[in-house]
């Protein structure tokens, strides 16, 4: 902790010194400056509007008007920088009395200064890539306050599927997949930040420069065993040697809880409870007199009518974010620094006490300092360092406990407060929501995180021109400690003849501080790069060695290591060929079987450079590319070192039984059988696609076809029962997946109006080629179905009468069937043919999955004068959700959906089965009755902004100022019709924190 404290004290001091330096430079410029007038034109000498013009290493900039003209203050010998996307940057040394006319030369398509794409330990122009890679710059992402940064990228990157899983403040739970589900086990993509494996969910947007998604073997084979599920590469910002800047961003807003469960009032609840008991053959526990008392609101202490959702959950709560960043430098030293703060409050009511506030909240501070230093003509040292401080407050008994009490306690269980002011309760319901929030203390979960990466590059041009030696080392440290206050309350049931108390009260006291989740992660890469041009030929070669270790006190370390190499060749920037290979190993496999070789090759051809296409003016650019290769996936389920057999010592008579009178004896028992032949998943990847630009580069289109075949997937094995041990795992499974991925963009400027549109879509299909589910008949196996298929009973509506039951196959899933129960189809008995009995033999596998086969996104940005509008939609098709737990999860959680159940009066129109108390197995069995379309279209982000006019910005000493309103998760369309969000259908019910929208007011200022 002392280390972190010293570092945090250093960060503000460093920022102050850098700001002072920048401001002093600015004052020097103003003191001896004059106004320079100039015009910027293109290759055809036509004026270029909207060009950025600024003085090197100075703050502030201007833009050319519609005539291509600009005015800027400068001094003699200052370097004027002129930049515009799609053109090469021009640098002009100013002289007194110059009348400037500057020509910007257009850059080849996908080869401009803004067309860089990061691949493992290298940067390539997009034109040079023959791999399937998508790049998204952070400038295209709206500034919104969210605790999981990944939420802002949904729908923006082709081939990247991100689904929000967590909802509570401080929860960063998001599914991240590249392209589609390929494995039968782990499908999550690997994430690398600044060259080393770490997540970016908790980073601030001000830190990030770009996100790159690697999707085929041409790049993924570099990572060997870590590349099989795709890779998301994140690069943090660097200083710009041509200019210095300061930026401040601020957002304040509200989170709105949406799709909350709709509880019943006490009258409806007791009425339905009576019905459920009677349906189970019992006697209604609530008399008509009691029902009338609940309906009429008689005596709230004897007949309480609670709405715990409305009483203890707010509809809105505040959220705010502030970020300060700065960057700049010179050729020899470049820097970037940022500080940000996020404060996210929870939805709980009645949490404030004289001693504490137990409302869930999350505060996060991010510090970033990146510096690149030219130590000599040949030596460059780069240090990227980030510090994160997090503090999450939750109620003393835990978030899940509070949510469960609010959502699943019957409205008539007890009065929250008795007449004498004590907390109400009952023998079955001792958890009082007010007691949980006001008299259970709180938990403070604090994280301290240091992420540091050191990169050293030694150019060896004096030995071999174009050769360099590179070293990267990372240090990631996580420190966690939990503290807070503890307290316990007593509840009293005063409806009894003799009031009864439950639980034992205890005063406020300090919670025992615990330390956990501490971890240390190191990664090391070292090797050579060679980059040389020979006339029209270009050759770029990289070779690296790598070691990775993930350490924590409470477990064994995870380690892997290997070699990686890449060679890229181009001729006339028209023909491209590449070869990449990884030789990767993991300690989780048996000695002698720990390393694998994963080669891949790729090729690209810029067809538009050929004479037969140059005359087609409609085609500005066309490139075809293809790749094929092998990648591995070493993420296998199960315990560490699955090739070993493990044993447990039983010293208290818990072992095997021996003797004529069997008795357990002290012994060692076998825990599992190891499989020394276990190996990694091997993935063969084929990708073919093209990138095109039309109509003078205004319309862009990219498309890919991909095919993957994944083998050696872990499946179950069958051992003879005499072994006396459960089945182990073997590499028997295989899955093939194929799909089409497309993205398009359109940009156009019409006078003062600038239009930008984007869209992307991925359509995929998978098929299990081999698998083995132990103890499952052939027709219920996954082979021939999609990955992630579902085993269910096929429903045939609801039984309408006893006569229908008598004339149907006998259902044995849970006692005797009754009208209103789900009716199932007789698919097959033990011999595979219908046998008149509904049991587990009648389950079949259907091609329904929680993961979609199609996901897409589209959006736009428009700017007219000082006004702008941006929006982004995200959607999925082919996703299936199970709503059984939302509708029929037990009598304590009857809700508004329960009113749509089967009764004799609405038998033909009932949506859901009859209610029950005890025997519910038939209606809760896995069946297609409860499966619904999880397709949705979501307005993920939107912003409307207005920029301060240039004359006012200049008057206030600003480069630019922008005010805006924005939002996250603004609305969702879906087919469920039951008031839930299909992305997280359990949010706001059960034990899950509510899903939320975010509305913000924002300000961005650039100096």
What confidence tens digit (pLDDT) does each residue in 98-138 have? 678 999 998 888 888 889 999 999 999 999 999 999 999 99
Helix, strand or coil for residue 284?
coil
- In contact, 468 and 477? CB cutoff 8 Å: no
The answer, yes or no, to whether residue 187 has pLDDT greater than 50, is yes
Tell me, what's the pLDDT at 172? Answer: 75
- In contact, 133 and 215? CB cutoff 8 Å: yes
Task: Determine the Cα–Cα distance for residues 102 and 42; give it in Å rounded to an integer.
Answer: 8
The mean pLDDT of 93-100, rounded to a whole number, is 80
120 plus 90 within the same structural domain: no
Task: Determine the Cα–Cα distance for residues 640 and 589; give it in Å rounded to an integer.
Answer: 9
165 plus 99 within the same structural domain: no
DSSP lists the bridge partners of residue 583 as 563, 597
Encode pLDDT of 824-843 as tens digits: 999 988 877 889 999 999 99
Q: What is the 3-state secondary structure (H, E, C) of 365-406?
A: EEEEEEEEEECCCCEEEEEEEEEEEEEEEEECCCHHHHHHHH
In the structure, what pLDDT confidence band is assigned to residue 320 with cuts at 50, 70 and 90? very high
47 plus 141 within the same structural domain: no
223 plus 142 within the same structural domain: yes
In the structure, what pLDDT confidence band is assigned to residue 485 with cuts at 50, 70 and 90? very high
Q: Is residue 228 part of a domain?
A: yes
93 plus 120 within the same structural domain: no
Tell me, what's the pLDDT at 656? Answer: 65
DSSP lists the bridge partners of residue 711 as 682
Spell out where 752-794 has E strands.
753-770, 790-792
Tell me, what's the pLDDT at 265? Answer: 97
- In contact, 212 and 119? CB cutoff 8 Å: yes
The answer, yes or no, to whether residue 268 has pLDDT greater than 90, is yes
Q: Is residue 689 part of a domain?
A: no
Q: What are phi and psi of 559, to 5 degrees?
A: -140, 145
Q: What are phi and psi of 354, to 5 degrees?
A: -60, -25
In the structure, what pLDDT confidence band is assigned to residue 724 with cuts at 50, 70 and 90? low
41 plus 121 within the same structural domain: no
Task: Determine the Cα–Cα distance for residues 1003 and 1001; give it in Å rounded to an integer.
Answer: 7
In the structure, what pLDDT confidence band is assigned to residue 2 with cuts at 50, 70 and 90? very low
**Which of the residue ranges 11-15, 221-225, 721-725, 805-809 would you say has the lowest mean pLDDT?**
11-15
The domain boundary, picked from 186, 210, 238, lies at 238
Task: Give me Rg for the CA atoms of the chain.
Answer: 32
What would the DSSP string read from start to end of 712-743? Answer: EEEEE----GGG-S---EEEEEEEEEEEEEEE
In the structure, what pLDDT confidence band is assigned to residue 944 with cuts at 50, 70 and 90? very high
Tell me, what's the pLDDT at 14? Answer: 47
206 plus 173 within the same structural domain: yes
The answer, yes or no, to whether residue 516 has pLDDT greater than 80, is no
**Which of the residue ranges 306-310, 395-399, 651-655 would you say has the lowest mean pLDDT?**
651-655
Encode pLDDT of 458-483 as tens digits: 999 999 999 999 999 999 999 999 99
Cα 186–Cα 191–Cα 194 angle in degrees, nearest 5: 160
The mean pLDDT of 947-972, rounded to a whole number, is 88
Tell me, what's the pLDDT at 720? Answer: 63
Give 93-101's long-range contacts (Cβ < 8 A, gap of 24+).
94/36, 96/34, 98/36, 99/37, 99/38, 100/36, 100/37, 100/38, 100/39, 101/38, 101/39, 101/41
Task: Determine the Cα–Cα distance for residues 193 and 354; give it in Å rounded to an integer.
Answer: 44
CATH number, domain containing residue 93: 2.60.40.1120
The mean pLDDT of 560-589, rounded to a whole number, is 96
In the structure, what pLDDT confidence band is assigned to residue 166 with cuts at 50, 70 and 90? confident
- In contact, 779 and 768? CB cutoff 8 Å: no
Q: Is residue 179 part of a domain?
A: yes
Tell me, what's the pLDDT at 723? Answer: 65
The domain boundary, picked from 238, 262, 281, lies at 238
Encode pLDDT of 142-158 as tens digits: 989 988 888 899 999 99
**Which of the residue ranges 249-258, 645-654, 962-971 would you say has the lowest mean pLDDT?**
645-654
The answer, yes or no, to whether residue 32 has pLDDT greater than 80, is no
**Which of the residue ranges 48-52, 229-233, 684-688 would you say has the lowest mean pLDDT?**
48-52
224 plus 152 within the same structural domain: yes
Tell me, what's the pLDDT at 722? Answer: 59
What would the DSSP string read from start to end of 793-861? Answer: BPEEEE---HHHHHTSPEE-SSSS--TTSEEE-----TTSS--SEESGGG-EEES--SS-SEEEEEEEE
The mean pLDDT of 724-742, rounded to a whole number, is 85
Tell me, what's the pLDDT at 639? Answer: 67
In this structure, what token pair is assigned to residue 213?
């998604």
Question: Given its phi and psi angles, is residue 381 left (phi above 0), alpha (psi -120 to 50 degrees) or beta?
Answer: beta
Tell me, what's the pLDDT at 27? Answer: 41
Q: Which is more confident, 39 or 650?
A: 39
38 plus 91 within the same structural domain: yes
Q: What are phi and psi of 485, to 5 degrees?
A: -120, 145
The answer, yes or no, to whether residue 7 has pLDDT greater than 70, is no
- In contact, 998 and 345? CB cutoff 8 Å: no
Tell me, what's the pLDDT at 414? Answer: 97
Residue 411 Cα to chain centre, angstroms: 36
Which among 162, 308, 254 has a CA at the least distance from the CA of 988? 308
The answer, yes or no, to whether residue 39 has pLDDT greater than 70, is yes
Encode pLDDT of 287-308 as tens digits: 999 999 999 998 999 999 999 9
The count of domains in the chain is: 2
Q: Is residue 631 part of a domain?
A: no
Q: Is residue 61 part of a domain?
A: yes
The domain boundary, picked from 217, 238, 259, lies at 238
60 plus 127 within the same structural domain: no
The interaxial angle of helices 266-279 and 288-296, nearest 10 deg, is 160
Residue 710 vs residues 228, 685, 688: alpha-carbon distances, Å: 9, 9, 18
Q: Is residue 225 part of a domain?
A: yes
Task: Determine the Cα–Cα distance for residues 944 and 942; give it in Å rounded to an integer.
Answer: 7
- In contact, 694 and 109? CB cutoff 8 Å: no
The mean pLDDT of 866-877, rounded to a whole number, is 97
200 plus 172 within the same structural domain: yes
Encode pLDDT of 71-84 as tens digits: 888 888 888 999 99
SS3 content of the chain, % helix, strand, coil (to 5): 15, 45, 40
Task: Determine the Cα–Cα distance for residues 433 and 309; give it in Å rounded to an integer.
Answer: 10
Tell me, what's the pLDDT at 727? Answer: 60
Q: Is residue 920 part of a domain?
A: no
CATH number, domain containing residue 133: 2.170.130.10
Domain that holds residue 187: 116-238
Tell me, what's the pLDDT at 752? Answer: 86
The mean pLDDT of 352-371, rounded to a whole number, is 96
Mean pLDDT, all residues of the chain: 90
Tell me, what's the pLDDT at 5? Answer: 43
Cα 192–Cα 196–Cα 199 angle in degrees, nearest 5: 45
Give 89-93's long-range contacts (Cβ < 8 A, gap of 24+).
89/113, 89/242, 91/56, 91/242
144 plus 210 within the same structural domain: yes
Q: Is residue 69 part of a domain?
A: yes
């Amino acid at each position: 902790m002392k280390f972190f404290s010293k570092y945090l004290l250093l960060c503000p001091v460093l920022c102050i010194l850098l700001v002072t330096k920048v401001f002093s430079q600015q004052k020097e410029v103003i003191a001896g400056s004059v106004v320079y007038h100039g015009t910027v034109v293109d290759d055809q000498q036509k004026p270029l509007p909207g060009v950025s013009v600024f003085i090197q290493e100075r703050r502030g900039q201007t833009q050319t008007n519609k005539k291509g003209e600009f005015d800027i203050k400068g001094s003699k010998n200052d370097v004027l920088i002129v930049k515009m996307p799609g053109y090469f940057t021009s640098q002009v040394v100013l002289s007194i009395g110059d009348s400037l006319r500057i020509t910007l030369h257009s850059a080849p398509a996908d080869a401009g200064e803004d067309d860089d794409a990061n691949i493992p330990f290298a940067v390539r122009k997009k034109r040079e890539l023959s791999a399937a890679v998508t790049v998204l710059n952070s400038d295209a992402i709206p500034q919104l306050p969210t605790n999981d940064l990944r939420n802002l990228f949904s729908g923006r990157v082709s081939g990247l599927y991100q689904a929000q899983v967590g909802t509570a403040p401080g929860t960063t739970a998001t599914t991240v997949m590249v392209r589609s589900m390929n494995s039968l086990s782990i499908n999550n993509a690997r994430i690398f930040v600044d060259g080393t494996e770490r997540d970016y969910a908790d980073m601030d947007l001000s830190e990030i420069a770009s996100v790159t998604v690697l999707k085929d073997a041409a790049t993924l084979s570099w990572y060997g065993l870590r590349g099989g599920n795709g890779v998301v590469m994140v690069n943090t910002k660097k200083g710009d040697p041509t200019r210095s800047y300061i930026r401040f961003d601020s957002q304040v807003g509200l989170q709105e809880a949406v799709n909350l469960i709709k509880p019943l009032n006490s009258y409806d609840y007791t009425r339905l409870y009576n019905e459920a008991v009677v349906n189970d053959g019992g006697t209604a526990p609530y008399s008509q007199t009691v029902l009338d008392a609940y309906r009429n609101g008689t005596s709230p202490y004897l007949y309480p009518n609670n709405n715990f959702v409305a009483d203890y959950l707010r509809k809105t709560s505040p959220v705010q974010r502030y970020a300060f960043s700065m960057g700049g430098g010179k050729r020899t030293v470049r820097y970037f620094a940022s500080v940000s703060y996020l404060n996210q409050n929870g939805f709980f009511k009645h949490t404030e006490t004289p001693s504490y506030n137990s409302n869930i909240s999350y505060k996060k501070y991010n510090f970033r300092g990146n510096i690149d230093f030219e130590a000599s003509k040949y030596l460059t040292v780069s240090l990227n360092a980030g510090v994160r401080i997090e503090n999450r407050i939750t109620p003393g008994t835990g978030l899940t406990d509070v949510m469960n009490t609010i959502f699943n306690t019957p409205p008539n269980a007890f009065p929250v407060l008795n007449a004498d002011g004590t907390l109400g309760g009952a023998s079955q319901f001792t958890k009082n929501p007010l007691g949980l929030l006001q008299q259970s203390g709180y938990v403070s979960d604090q994280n301290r995180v240091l992420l540091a990466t050191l990169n050293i590059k030694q150019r060896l041009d004096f030995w071999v021109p174009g050769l360099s030696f590179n070293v990267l080392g990372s240090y990631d440290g996580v420190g966690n400690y939990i503290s807070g206050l503890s307290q316990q309350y007593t509840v009293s049931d005063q409806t009894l003849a003799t009031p009864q108390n439950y639980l034992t009260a205890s005063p406020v006291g300090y919670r025992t501080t615990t330390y956990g989740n501490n971890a240390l992660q190191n990664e090391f890469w070292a090797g050579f790069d060679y980059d040389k041009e020979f006339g029209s030929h270009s050759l770029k070669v990289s070779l690296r060695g790598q070691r990775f270790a993930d350490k924590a006190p409470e477990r064994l370390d995870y380690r892997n290591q290997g070699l990686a190499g890449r060679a890229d060749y181009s001729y006339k920037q028209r023909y491209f060929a590449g070869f990449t290979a990884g030789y990767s190993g993991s300690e989780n496999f048996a000695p002698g079987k720990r390393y694998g070789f994963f080669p891949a090759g790729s090729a690209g051809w810029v067809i538009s450079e050929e004479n037969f296409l140059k005359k087609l003016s409609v085609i500005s650019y066309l490139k075809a590319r293809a790749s094929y290769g092998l990648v591995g996936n070493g993420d296998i389920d199960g315990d560490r070192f699955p090739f070993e057999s493990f044993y447990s010592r039983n010293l208290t008579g818990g072992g095997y039984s021996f003797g004529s009178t069997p008795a357990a004896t002290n012994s060692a028992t076998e825990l599992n059988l190891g499989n020394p032949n276990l190996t990694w998943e091997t993935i063969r990847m084929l990708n073919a696609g093209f990138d095109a630009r039309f109509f003078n580069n205004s319309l862009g289109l990219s498309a890919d076809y991909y095919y993957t075949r994944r083998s050696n997937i872990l499946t179950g094995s069958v051992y003879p029962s005499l072994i006396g041990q459960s089945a182990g795992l073997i590499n028997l499974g295989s899955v093939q997946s194929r799909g089409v991925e497309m993205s398009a963009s359109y940009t156009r400027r019409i006078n003062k109006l600038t239009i930008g549109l984007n869209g992307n879509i991925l359509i995929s299909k998978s098929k299990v080629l081999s698998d083995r589910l132990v103890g499952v008949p052939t027709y219920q196996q996954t082979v021939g179905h999609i990955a992630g298929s579902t085993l269910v009973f096929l429903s045939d509506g609801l039984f309408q009468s006893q006569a229908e039951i008598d004339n149907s196959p006998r259902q044995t899933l849970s006692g005797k069937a009754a009208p209103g129960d789900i009716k199932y189809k007789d698919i097959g008995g033990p011999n595979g043919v219908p046998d008149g009995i509904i049991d587990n033999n009648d389950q079949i596998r259907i091609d329904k999955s929680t993961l979609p086969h199609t996901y897409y996104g589209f959006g736009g940005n428009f700017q007219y004068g000082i006004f702008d509008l941006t929006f982004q939609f995200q959607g999925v098709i082919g996703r299936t959700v199970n709503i059984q737990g939302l509708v029929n999860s037990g009598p304590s959680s009857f809700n508004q959906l329960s009113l749509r159940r089967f009764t004799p009066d609405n038998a033909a129109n009932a949506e859901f089965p009859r209610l029950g108390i005890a025997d519910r197995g038939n209606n809760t069995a896995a069946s297609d009755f409860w499966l619904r379309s999880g397709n949705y279209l979501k307005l993920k982000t939107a912003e409307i902004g207005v920029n301060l006019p240039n004359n006012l910005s200049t008057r206030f000493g600003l480069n630019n100022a922008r005010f805006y309103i924005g939002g996250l998760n603004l609305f969702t369309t879906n087919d469920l019709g039951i008031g839930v969000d299909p992305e997280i259908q359990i949010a706001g019910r059960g034990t899950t924190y509510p899903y939320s929208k975010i509305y913000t007011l924002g300000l961005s200022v650039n100096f």
